[in-house]
Amino acid sequence: MLYKKPQIQYYPYIVQRDDYKCVRCLGCVEQCSYDATFYDEELDVIWNKHEACVGCKRCEAMCPTDAIKIVPNPSRPYEHGSWKWDLVMDAYLQANTGSIIITGIGNDKPYRVYFDHLLIDACQVTNPSIDPLREPMELRTFLGRKGQRIELDETVDGNLALKTRLAPQLQLETPIMFSAMSYGSINLNFQESMARAAVQLGTYWNTGEGGLHKRLYPYAGSGIVQVASGRFGVSRDYLKAAAAVEIKIGQGAKPGIGGHLPGEKVNADIAETRMIPRGSDAISPAPHHDIYSIEDLRQLIYAIKEATRYEKPVFVKIAAVHNIAAIASGVARAGADVIVLDGFRGGTGAAPKVVRDHVGIPVEVAIAVVDKRLRDEGMRNEVSIVATGGIRSSADVIKAIALGADAIYIATAAMLAIGCTLCQTCNTGRCAWGITTNDPRLARRQNPEIATEQLANLVKGWSHEMKEMLGAMGINSIESLKGNRLRLRTIGLSEKESEILGVLPAGM
Amino acid sequence: MQKVVIVEDFCIACYNCEVACVATHSRSEEPIKAYKRENLRGRSNALVEVNGPIAFSAMCRHCKHPWCLDTCISGAIQRLDNGIVYLDEERCVGCWGCVLGCPYGVAHPNLKGEEKHAFKCDLCIDRLEAGLKPACVEACPNKALIYDETMEETEGAYNR
Ligand code: SF4
Ligand code: SF4
Ligand code: SF4
Ligand code: SF4
Ligand code: SF4
């Protein structure tokens, strides 16, 4: 049949191959996991089924003679101010399938990125800036409840000793952690790489809701383990091994939506780690079925604290949604040591596109309003704030911290560090970069030895840049920047937006 | 002696090693010219084998007891002092003894060139002398080929 339906014929990408430069090594054929590239032996030519290409650029990266370029198809559907080409394609697609469109990565719609409307201060004349190469500069951060005051005791030999029992703290050498990505949604090579990089960097990684694989127990001391609505992999050893426990209520990419790892992806290893039968669907319900109120949440928080002998901070992760300040206040009152705010630009392995693109609020706004609310209520010291979902650079980290966060999590940035090209097909399980797949042919594309180094490099690079920015501001410790919104100015925002962010406009 | 260690766990079948091997053994040392002008397609000493999820690049193991040498009727194959098993293509008469004798299948017959001779990995002897790593090792993007002077000579020595 030669006729192709519009959503196939108006494909988004064209694989351009310079046939003279192509030496027929067949690398691209092998690399393409979407069946878009073929070798025709009879004609001795490499063909592409452009309509199958997802634009992952894997073949382009691997071609030894630079013969391939993946380019947007200029004949994508026409668009105008309101109907963008992808909306047209979605309409075509759904007219054929009648089903929900599932996608991966994060919100790609051009909503305002508040980080890009915030400017950072620097010192001139009246207060000196600091050169981080010559003077000490501290990024060390402690996460956990700080309490109202401490009491000291005098010991027999006249020294002072701490009388107050401090709440458990996580010590981070840099306020950048690796966010929750579960084994199952990503593969073990990538998870191991994050774990190894976290150990190397003196920071933390997060298991996500898929349990802790036995191979990763040696890195669990730098690990935060998740307890999510599916309770996968939660066991005594799991809680015991970790540095902290995170209760996942929501995810920025899909607030109010649960998770679903289809049975065909649940291989023996994933099944063992998640503690579910092999081949069974791993379904995380949208809500925790035992949490319908702040009081219920408090019960779970304290159940976990009790189980971990009050030795580990308990995180509660919530998606940034309307009324986030009130919700966070409730979470703090429920006894969380750390609140994780996940903005609507956060990533996901799979989510309904309509939810990914239209539900939730930006993390910048969430940090600002939550920090303010907790201060107003006199309980900011009772809980740390970790921001995630849309952190793209060291400048974003500095801005997030100045807005009121204690630390941040990265996930999409971590995937970029190991090759992700944002092709948004994580949900297919065929990631050509070997990141969001457990296909043994693809997972081996991440060699933990290489990936660990790349991840550590990214965080090191950002940390150096943060020190430079702090130095320019005349600050020698990240602590002094926390919630210091006077070091920020807005640009191009309305008065109301500036007011919500609690930041003065540029020029003031 | 040292040889290229093949790390089966991480070969992703990208064929960069093959192209690098062809290029480095060409006159131009340029992949496109080597394939298109010098007609060296199919002349890689490294051969990527793919079977389902498993892939690896196979090249001469530079055996302590070279079976290929045993079978060579013309004296084209020698074991050099540094341990490299070297096939002199000029002296090879094309009897295919080594092709049959090599238990790893890494001595290849040159079937399409005008000259009839066999070819196999020379461990990039010229590059080694220049202080470089073998071309395939340098080209491998996923550390699936390793050349480590400190690594002991044992088959399958590489264990994570
Ligand atoms: S990877 Fe490049 S050189 Fe190799 S077959 Fe594909 S286009 Fe040709
Ligand atoms: S590897 Fe990726 S970019 Fe290349 S043809 Fe396949 S889907 Fe398209
Ligand atoms: S060609 Fe085969 S037999 Fe000869 S040295 Fe190499 S691996 Fe050994
Ligand atoms: S060591 Fe050199 S000659 Fe041997 S396979 Fe590698 S590139 Fe080819
Ligand atoms: S270059 Fe490395 S990963 Fe690519 S085919 Fe050769 S051995 Fe495998």
Whether residue B107 lies inside any domain: the answer is yes
A440 in contact with chain B, both atoms CB, cutoff 8 A: yes
| Whole-number pLDDT of residue B152 | 55
Whether residue B151 lies inside any domain: the answer is no
CB contact under 8 A, A31 and B144: no
CB contact under 8 A, A27 and B50: no
Out of B9, B32, B141, name the one closest to residue A23 (CB): B32
- State how many domains chain B has: 2
Q: Residue A2 — pLDDT band, cuts 50, 70, 90? A: confident
Q: Which atom of ligand 5 is nearest to the CA of B48?
A: 5
Residue holding tokens 């900011």? A380
End-to-end C-alpha distance for chain B, whole angstroms: 21
pLDDT score of B156 more than 70: no
How far A18 CA lies from chain B's nearest CA (Å)?
A: 12
Whether residue B70 lies inside any domain: the answer is yes
| Whole-number pLDDT of residue A1 | 59
B41 neighbourhood in chain A, CB within 8 Å: 23-24
* Residue A2 neighbours by CB distance under 10 Å: 3
User: Once rounded to an integer, what is the mean pLDDT over residues A438-448?
Assistant: 97
CB A68 within 8 A of CB A28: yes
How far A25 CA lies from chain B's nearest CA (Å)?
A: 6
Fold of domain A174-480: TIM Barrel (3.20.20)
Give me the DSSP letters along A289-357.
TT-SSHHHHHHHHHHHHHHTTT-S-EEEEEE--TTHHHHHHHHHHTT-SEEEEE-TT---SSEEHHHHH
Mean of per-residue pLDDT scores for chain A = 96
Q: What is the maximal distance between C-alpha atoms in chain B? A: 44
**In angstroms, what CA-CA distances link A443 with A153, A357, B157?**
56, 28, 23
Whether residue B28 lies inside any domain: the answer is yes
Q: What is the tens place of the pLDDT at every residue in A278-311? A: 999 999 999 999 999 999 999 999 999 999 999 9
A449 in contact with chain B, both atoms CB, cutoff 8 A: yes
Claim to verify: residue B46 and residue B2 sit in the same structural domain:
yes
| Nearest Cα residue in chain B from A451 | B142
Whether residue B101 lies inside any domain: the answer is yes
Dist. CA A256–CA A252, nearest whole Å: 9
Whether residue B90 lies inside any domain: the answer is yes
A27 in contact with chain B, both atoms CB, cutoff 8 A: yes
Interface subset of B 130-149, CB within 8 angstroms of A: 139, 141-144
| Whole-number pLDDT of residue B158 | 36
| Whole-number pLDDT of residue B23 | 98
Give me the residues paired with residue A153 across strands: A161
How far A211 CA lies from chain B's nearest CA (Å)?
A: 23
Claim to verify: residue B81 and residue B48 sit in the same structural domain:
no
pLDDT score of B154 more than 70: no
Structure letter (DSSP) for residue A132? T
Secondary structure class of A148 (helix, strand, coil): coil
A208: number of CA atoms within 13 Å, CB side?
Answer: 30
Whether residue B159 lies inside any domain: the answer is no
Give me the residues paired with residue A223 across strands: A205
| Whole-number pLDDT of residue B115 | 82
Claim to verify: residue B97 and residue B134 sit in the same structural domain:
no
Q: How large a percentage of chain B has pLDDT more than 70? A: 92
User: Once rounded to an integer, what is the mean pLDDT over residues A258-276?
Assistant: 92
Claim to verify: residue B66 and residue B79 sit in the same structural domain:
yes
Q: Residue B159 — pLDDT band, cuts 50, 70, 90? A: very low
Claim to verify: residue B100 and residue B69 sit in the same structural domain:
yes
Q: Name the residue ranges covered by the structural domains of chain A.
A: 6-77, 174-480
Claim to verify: residue B6 and residue B54 sit in the same structural domain:
yes
**In angstroms, what CA-CA distances link B150 with A71, A354, A465, B1?**
45, 55, 37, 10
Q: Which atom of ligand 1 is nearest to the CA of A46?
A: 5
Dist. CA A27–CA A20, nearest whole Å: 16
Of A177, A270, A271, A166, nearest in space to A223 by CA: A177
pLDDT score of B150 more than 80: no
CB contact under 8 A, B41 and A24: yes
Claim to verify: residue B73 and residue B48 sit in the same structural domain:
no
Claim to verify: residue B92 and residue B113 sit in the same structural domain:
yes
Whether residue B152 lies inside any domain: the answer is no
- What is the number of CB-based contacts under 8 A between chain A and chain B? 64
User: Side chain identity at B112, as an amino acid letter?
Assistant: K
User: Once rounded to an integer, what is the mean pLDDT over residues B132-140?
Assistant: 97
Structure letter (DSSP) for residue A166? P
Claim to verify: residue B14 and residue B30 sit in the same structural domain:
yes
**Domain extent at residue B81:** 62-120
Out of B53, B139, B143, name the one closest to residue A449 (CB): B143
**Which one of 2.40.10.500, 3.90.1170.50, 3.30.70.3000, 3.30.70.20 gives the CATH number of domain A6-77?**
3.30.70.20
pLDDT score of B113 more than 80: no
Give me A167's structure tokens. Answer: 């709440």
pTM here is: 0.94
Claim to verify: residue B111 and residue B98 sit in the same structural domain:
yes
Give me A319's structure tokens. Answer: 């998606």
Q: Which atom of ligand 2 is nearest to the CA of A58?
A: 1
* Residue A5 neighbours by CB distance under 10 Å: 12
Q: Which CATH number is B83's domain given?
A: 3.30.70.20
Q: What is the tens place of the pLDDT at every residue in A3-45? A: 888 778 899 999 999 999 999 999 999 999 999 999 999 999 9
End-to-end C-alpha distance for chain A, whole angstroms: 67
Q: What is the tens place of the pLDDT at every residue in A383-420? A: 999 999 999 999 999 999 999 999 999 999 999 999 99
Claim to verify: residue B12 and residue B23 sit in the same structural domain:
yes
Q: How large a percentage of chain B has pLDDT more than 90? A: 84
Percent helix / strand / coil, chain A, rounded to 5: 35, 15, 45
| Whole-number pLDDT of residue B157 | 38
- Protein residues with CB under 6 Å of any ligand 5 atom: B 11-17, 48, 55, 57, 139-140, 142, 144-145
Crossing angle between the packed helical segments A294-307 and A324-333, to the nearest 10 degrees:
40
pLDDT score of B147 more than 80: yes
Of A32, A50, A57, A51, nearest in space to A421 by CA: A57
| Whole-number pLDDT of residue A5 | 80
